[in-house]
Structure 1
């Protein structure tokens, strides 16, 4: 199993290199980082522009610039922004902001969606299955850019009708907060509810439908009937054999769905005023800042790489054949 995981890790590292190289090349060829400086009033002098161009190595070959960027990243330096600030100063804070959203929303959505899909397959064409099908199709048909404002509007209405501020829908924390650790924990949890719920619902729909389909395939398999014939109860045969086998393709979905979740988090952060990696990506693209865009792209690629490794470990645990 160790050899299998090492080979998978090497594959992911190669894919990470290719993804960052292509992103850097595309950004270098299409971005004009000095465009924002030219739009200022008064515009900077020719000497300032020349110094900025030299500092950002804009006249160097894009391929050579990529390897210079890669060398610096491996030493922990993600470069300078166009505004002459350090990317490192913002990077780690924004990563923590995004991880709070993405990890919690993704894990809860994947777990709940998987359980709903599995139970819907077991109760095929029963009332639970019909309700789950309608709800998940509705969730799948609503993009995050619509779902987030709708939940925000509902939260405002609930707060107004109850005369409370239970749902906090702007920012990571309140600007006016009573001192004390417990007050801060409660406040941050209130701000976390709505954006986490958006990502949870965004994830739940797809996982539920895939798991239902996978589970139905296993329920009709010969080995389930064989297990029943050997004396296992229906519930034990389904849980011990069918459910475990149906989880294998779900593990793959988790790895390749991570990119979509991070994309969904981009819109969620903008709607709820969370200044994480998604919000930073939009800023980096609109300001045509290569280093900011690459920092976010690297974070996204690493997230997919890590989720892929977790998927490989989970798949090996579920399917003994992979261990050999």
Structure 2
């Protein structure tokens, strides 16, 4: 088991190195000159100043040399300096990482828990009107673009009902102190997390429903019922543990899409996370910040997939037995 984990970590490190190189090359072959962004519009017409800036930031060197230098700095934890914010990329990302983690974790938890419960309910009563209604709503939720959902929620809760804040993650007049801070952030978090979670709730409900329907027809479930166990024990203790494995698989595979959706949600709600930082960096051609955000996002996706592999062994003990048999 430990040997398998070590091998996967080694593969993850190699993949991160490939991602760093690919991101760097893709950004540097796109049109545009960061030097013109650094000097601003007033100095962009001065060729000597532009050459001086390129030499200062190493932009006049060949791309391969710049790539080797960047990989070396990343290996030491140095992500460079922001051209626009005039501070280290590491500090910028550190300040924006927690809001994104909070948003993604809340949306994912909501989608998985609610989607799984809806899927289990509809699988137990597949022909009931509520089951058909849940199926239709899931398809509608899956079809809605995440930015459109966010805009509709803004109109509904800010313009029509005026119940929840729709921008930022702090109010100017929030109550000082730990509890006041938590309450204010939670209030601002409701709409972004709901927007991001709705589409994945629809997917997980459909997936858990299909998986539960298959598991409920298994021999061991019929055996459990024949032993006289209660229906809730059969469903939640025996069937759900196996039915949730496909859901865990999809979580790992879709974590990258979840982060991409977070970029749109953070833009709609002006949420101060990595997605908003990436959006601003693209507009300002701040390549150092954009590379840093892409690197951190890639590490998060790779770590999520590695964690998914480890969760398999917790959910299904048979996977642990197979791992031991290979050693």
1:294 aligned residue? 291
Cα distance in structure 2, aligned partners of 1:272 and 1:212: 32
Note the C-alpha offset of 1:220: 2.1
Asked if 1:79 corresponds to 2:80, the answer is yes
Cα distance in structure 2, aligned partners of 1:236 and 1:108: 23
Asked if 1:108 corresponds to 2:105, the answer is no
1:237-280 alpha-carbon deviations (Å, 9 max, x no partner): 33333211111121111111111111111111111111211111
Cα distance in structure 1, aligned partners of 2:245 and 2:187: 35
**TM-score where L is the length of structure 1:** 0.90
Q: How does 1:18-29 map to 2 (within 5 A)?
A: 18-29=18-29
Cα distance in structure 1, aligned partners of 2:65 and 2:226: 66
Note the C-alpha offset of 1:158: 4.7
Deviates more, 1:219-228 or 1:111-120: 219-228
2:233 aligned residue? 236
**Given that residues 81 and 292 in structure 1 are in contact (C-alpha distance below 8 angstroms), is that contact kept between their aligned partners in structure 2?**
yes
The secondary structure found in structure 2 opposite 1:30 is coil
Structure 2: gaps of 5 or more residues: none
Q: Find 1:154's aligned residue among 147, 156, 161.
A: 156
Note the C-alpha offset of 1:233: 4.5
Cα distance in structure 2, aligned partners of 1:212 and 1:112: 12
Alpha carbons of structure 1 residues 219 and 184: separation in structure 2 relative to 1, 3 Å: same
**Given that residues 31 and 288 in structure 1 are in contact (C-alpha distance below 8 angstroms), is that contact kept between their aligned partners in structure 2?**
no
Cα distance in structure 2, aligned partners of 1:239 and 1:159: 38
How many residues are matched? 319
Deviates more, 1:224-233 or 1:312-321: 224-233
2:66 aligned residue? 65
1:14-61 alpha-carbon deviations (Å, 9 max, x no partner): 222222221111111115323435761353633331222123322333
Point out which structure has higher relative CO (alpha carbons under 8 A, 6+ apart).
Answer: 1
1:163 aligned residue? none
Q: CA RMSD in A?
A: 2.2
Alpha carbons of structure 1 residues 61 and 125: separation in structure 2 relative to 1, 3 Å: farther
Cα distance in structure 2, aligned partners of 1:320 and 1:248: 12
Cα distance in structure 1, aligned partners of 2:216 and 2:178: 50
Q: How does 1:276-315 map to 2 (within 5 A)?
A: 276-315=273-312
